[in-house]
Amino acid sequence: MGYGGDNFLWENRNLRGLSSVIGQVVYKPGGSCGPRIQKNYQLFILHSGSCRYTCNKSNHELKADTVSLLTPGHKEYFSFSRKSETHHSWCTVPPSALPDWIKSQLKQHILNIPCSETFKRFLSGAFQLRQPLSKQGAKVVDLSAQSIFAEFLNMADNKPGRTKQSDGIAKAISYMENHFSEQDCLVKTHTASGVSRNTLIARFKSELKTTPDKFLWKIRTERGLEMLAETGLTIGEIAYKCGFKNPFHFSRMVRLHNGSSPRTIRQNAWTLK
């Protein structure tokens, strides 16, 4: 079947800026789209369900909770799950509207990059815009689209050909970033990574020269440093919000990481020093 109205359910169909479009759709079982020629740069985000994607006769399977880059000039065809509804979003920007520094890094397809929490927030934030859009609202859509593409490059880390090994680490880091304050974060990170505990430890040592637990404490300490500079929370409140068991542990980690006490760091951040 082609792109037929009887096979999809629109959900907040799209936001159209002056040049960009951010949209989402829910396909009924058996839905499809294409074939079509891609004219723009498009980020295809699969939230749930499944999708098989054909590009110039090359077949791919897109994964849930990931984002893929589609580039101009390619013939595309999408077929969605035959058993369940499929929900996906997209962010489309024409080549002429993307900044050169972003466009220079979007030279080939990049598939199945796990969505970061920041990426999800940029996307969901765009859909909070009130419709119909004013001219200023349309500009917000365009700026949101550029932010979404920039965060995509940040997630991809300029490494289009991620291996399965890198994917396992990416999933672990993504889970840590979203759940670092939870006491059982490290245990659940091993499950979220999709590999065994020993394998994950070995990969962290090989690729990042550290261990998962040290990486988690680094995230917690960095978030604490951000809160010291940007919030009025007490040192104790920050410690607990970042997953530390007490303020003394937090202070010790801050000194190891930054060389100064939490109080000194806050004073420096809040004054002209």
195-246 per-position pLDDT tens digit = 999 999 999 999 889 999 999 999 999 999 999 999 999 999 999 999 999 9
The pLDDT confidence band at residue 273, using thresholds 50, 70 and 90, is: low
The pLDDT confidence band at residue 7, using thresholds 50, 70 and 90, is: low
Burial profile 175-202: b = 16 or more Cβ within 10 angstroms, e = fewer? bbeebbeeeebbeebbebbebeeeebbe
Q: Are residues 109 and 185 in the same domain?
A: no
Q: Are residues 176 and 152 in the same domain?
A: no
Host domain of residue 247: 164-270
Q: Are residues 222 and 119 in the same domain?
A: no
Q: Are residues 261 and 171 in the same domain?
A: yes
For the chain, what is the mean pLDDT?
87
What is the average pLDDT across 157-174?
66
Total count of domains within the chain: 2
Task: Tell me the CATH number at 225.
Answer: 1.10.10.60
Does 17 score more than 60 pLDDT?
A: yes
Q: Please write the tens of the pLDDT for every residue from 73-132.
A: 999 999 999 999 999 999 999 999 988 888 888 877 788 888 888 899 999 999 888 878
Task: Tell me the CATH number at 14.
Answer: 2.60.120.280
Residue type, 193: S
Q: Is there a contact between 225 and 257 (Cβ–Cβ < 8 Å)?
A: yes
- Rounded to whole angstroms, the Cα distance separating 211 from 217 reads 10
Residue type, 151: E
- Considering the entire predicted model, what is its pTM? 0.61
- Rounded to whole angstroms, the Cα distance separating 37 from 170 reads 31
Q: Which of 109, 136, 156 is the last residue of a domain?
A: 156
